[in-house]
Amino acid sequence: MTPQDASAAAEKVCLLAPVVPVLVVDDASIAADLAKALVAGGLPALEVTLRTPAALDVIREMATVPGGVVGAGTLLTPKDVENAKAAGATFGVSPGATDLLLDACEANDLPLLPGVATASEAMRLLERGYTVQKFFPAEANGGAPALKAIGAPIPQVKFCPTGGVSLKNARDYLSLSNTLCVGGSWVAPKDKVLAGDWAGITALAVEAAALQ
């Protein structure tokens, strides 16, 4: 997979909804129910972070849910890429980007949303062919004003800002011409997940899906 093809595929994922839920799930037995709740609310693109021992099993379960498009977040190594792809992930997300990781994603045909924090990082990825990138950690790096400033001289790149994004500030990012969508965890709060409050999570997803 070429970087250009990867970015085209990543853009399609980003355009499915204004918000990509960023999910840290400890229990694979509730994964399908969580995915169904989010998809029902209008958020089909799901990023499962590889931060728990259950993450790969969570991806496997969510990949069976009709209408869901499941990706793996926190990809750090080539092994992460291989494991995510084998588990059923159809896209990947990383906090940063290294040549090893990019090579692995391209070799495994896994579209990657690579993370950047600076204009130089964005330019380096653009030079390789990546025109769709993740701005991370968004709020810590200056928020929407910083992303707008980066976009002025580098309009070729579109972003999915993640990290500190919430219902309160999501529109600040989504109003920018260089933002395709945002990533956020607020649509699946831990208390609702632990309580199995799927209706409550669907309601949060509906609210997020209506953001413009």
Catalytic (active-site) positions: 47, 134
Going by C-beta distance under 8 Å and a sequence separation of 6 or more, which residues neighbour residue 165?
138, 139, 173, 182, 183, 184
Q: How far apart are CA 22 and CA 208, in angstroms?
A: 13
Of 147, 153, 97, the residue nearest 121 (C-alpha): 97
| Alpha-carbon gap, residue 48 to 84, rounded angstroms | 10
**Spatial separation of the C-alpha atoms in residues 135 and 137, rounded to whole Å:** 6
In the block, residue with structure tokens 């190594």: 77
Cα–chain-centroid distance for residue 39? Answer: 15
